[in-house]
Structure 1
Amino acid sequence: MEIFRGRRLWIEQSAVRFPNGVEAEKVTVHPGSAVAILPVTPTGYRLLRQYRYAIGQYIVEAPAGTMEAGEDPAATAHRELIEEAGVAAKTMIPRGFIYTTPGYTDEKIWLFEARDLVPSREFEKDADEVIEIMDVTRDETDAMVADGTICDAKTICLIHRCRGG
């Protein structure tokens, strides 16, 4: 049964039967899929310091955004990289996907590594985004993950998954 529908997500409550036979009422949040991109620079990464209203603070994170209906993940990644980080990527490497919090949502975030960056004239943040662009070295990024400055799960996953390249 649908209990809420908004512009970007919907929430349902349903009876669930688990593989062990137990039945329970569960709530599932369906926000749709998204992408996250790690822009790789010659010396490190381009990250964002972005205000997140749900937690009431700024966090350091990779550019990311919601996929439009029917949009391919790679197309979303190219679009969001330009909109949020002001650069376009000549090379976009898929790095799989993650489920953010599968205990209550089916949200899937597709991960991409962006290389061969060039400035974009199409740079235009959404009106409700408060973003500062940060170019950081790989060592600075490692220190920020270690000390908790970078606490965003998708960004930590991206840094880990992109280390092979």
Structure 2
Amino acid sequence: MTGPRSVQSLIAPPPIRRVREVAVFRNRFGTLFNDDVIAPSGSTGQYLRWQWNQEGVVVVPVGPGGYALVTSYRYPVHAASLEFPRGGAEGDEGLAAAAARELREETGLVSQTVRPLGVIHADTGILASPIHVFVAQVDAATAQPAQPEAMESLTEPVWVTPEELPRWLSEGRITCGVTWRRSRWSSPVTAHRLESAPGPCRCRYSPGPSDGTADQVLRPCPSRAEHPRSKGAGAVLAA
């Protein structure tokens, strides 16, 4: 038996092909489809997928206190959930502008800078739309009153330090899949520090693969030009 393949060597399996697009529900947020499909084996059936009308955004607020999360009551799970602010673009709004707006509406925090980090898919089994991830540098001292939407139930931002975050994850305090994904990859903590100006970076890093634990050996980052994340190092944490 061979070991797991690297990402570069993965071979894509045969696709499940759509025979007919079947919309079964639609509202101002998106459309639910129950498409007729055919599997590689030749078997036919239906496949559910939800398509948002606009692409999603999630923003990782970073400040002197670490990460800012918001406690949101999520009706589908009938429970409160610690999450990074998220939502979607409105009309022809740019994605970075949407991230800054969602941050301001849900937390009252005003972004000083907003930078893209990448794209994720929250649930590839049913959600067709991508979510664009941004990191925002914020200052809690300049926060304004939050302005949540009518059907949102939120509390004031909760701050967690980079050192506390692995424990919060392991204890189950954070269960939102989108937030979990961004929390496990800790580069958002330092992304706002990677300026073009010369001088040492103020982060610390683990030279080995990130396993999300709090007891990794952390070393000083040599410089912005030689930042360890660019060389495939493990978790990067704020100093």
Fold in common (TM above 0.5): yes
List aligned pairs for 1:118-157, cutoff 5 A.
Answer: 119-121=142-144, 123-132=146-155, 133-157=157-181
List aligned pairs for 1:58-69, cutoff 5 A.
Answer: 58-69=80-91
Map Cα deviations across residues 101-121 of structure 1 (whole Å, 9 max, x no partner): 111220311111111436254
Number of residues of Structure 1 aligned to a counterpart in Structure 2: 165
Residue 119 of structure 2 is matched in structure 1 by: 97
Structure 1 residues not aligned, in runs of 5+: none
The residue type equivalent to 1:63 in the other structure is P
Shift in Å, 1:31: 2.3
Shift in Å, 1:18: 4.2
CA RMSD, Structure 1 to Structure 2 (Å): 2.0
Residue 106 of structure 1 is matched in structure 2 by: 128
Residue 50 of structure 2 is matched in structure 1 by: 29
Q: Which has the higher contact order (CA 8 A, sep 6+)?
A: 1
Change (3 A) 1:5 1:21: same
8 Å Cα contact 2:70-2:158 kept in structure 1: yes
Structure 2 residues not aligned, in runs of 5+: 1-21, 191-239
Map Cα deviations across residues 71-93 of structure 1 (whole Å, 9 max, x no partner): 22111101101111111112112
Under a length normalisation based on structure 1, what TM-score does the superposition of the two structures give? 0.88
8 Å Cα contact 1:46-1:62 kept in structure 2: yes
Shift in Å, 1:147: 1.0
8 Å Cα contact 1:112-1:158 kept in structure 2: no
Shifted more, 17-26 versus 103-112: the winner is 17-26
8 Å Cα contact 1:113-1:162 kept in structure 2: no
Residue 137 of structure 2 is matched in structure 1 by: 115
The residue type equivalent to 1:124 in the other structure is Q
Under a length normalisation based on structure 2, what TM-score does the superposition of the two structures give? 0.63
Matched position secondary structure for 1:54: helix
Following the alignment from structure 2 to structure 1, what is the Cα–Cα distance between the partners of residues 160 and 47?
42
8 Å Cα contact 1:37-1:158 kept in structure 2: no
8 Å Cα contact 1:43-1:138 kept in structure 2: no
The residue type equivalent to 2:98 in the other structure is T
Shifted more, 74-83 versus 20-29: the winner is 20-29
Identity %: 28
Following the alignment from structure 2 to structure 1, what is the Cα–Cα distance between the partners of residues 35 and 137?
43
